[in-house]
Amino acid sequence: PVSILMLDIDHHDQVRELLGADQTQGLYRRLAEHLFTLIRAGDTLYFLDHGRFCLILPFTHEEGARVTAERIRRSIAEAQWPQVGRMTVSIGATTHISQDSPADRLRERATDALEEAGRRGHDRVWFSTDPQQVA
């Protein structure tokens, strides 16, 4: 099994406007360092752009992905971040299922789940289990 978490900084545009480009890059670095303390050695972290990160969690079933996503969300919300104080993230998650073929579809489903988390508010995790729709 493999799971993917897509993570967005909530209110990213306002954070970027408040901090400016250089300090925002520093915030991304601090967030990446923080995420590395929360994931396993075999997990992979990517910075995509505009406050979005992607985590690939090999050998992780749905329940493990849910626990990891919630741990990350809570840890970020409880931390104090330089220049911004409290910061939250929304996370979309999914796990590879037998109907998945290309990896792009798995990433697409995680992105769809992230968008659904954003529609439902901030500081939340949304998990997609259905290959045809976000649940």
The pLDDT of residue 123 is 96
Q: Which amino acid is at 99?
A: Q
For 98-108, the pLDDT digits (tens) are 665 667 788 89
pLDDT for res 39: 95
The rounded distance, in Å, linking the Cα atoms of 65 and 127 is 9
- What are the two backbone dihedrals, phi and then psi, of residue 28, each rounded to the nearest 5 degrees? -60, -45
- Over residues 27-81, the pLDDT tens digits come to 999 999 999 999 999 999 999 988 999 999 999 999 999 999 999 999 999 999 9
Instruction: Please state the pTM of the whole predicted model.
Output: 0.90
pLDDT the model gives residue 135: 40
pLDDT given at position 134: 42
Place of tokens 């901090």: 19
Higher-confidence position of 21 and 71: 71
* Pairing verdict, β 2-9 and 44-49: unpaired
Q: What is the mean pLDDT of residues 12-40?
A: 94
The pLDDT value recorded for residue 70 is: 97
Task: Please name the residue that has the structure tokens 């969300």.
Answer: 73
Nearest one of 109, 92, 106 to 7, comparing CA atoms: 92
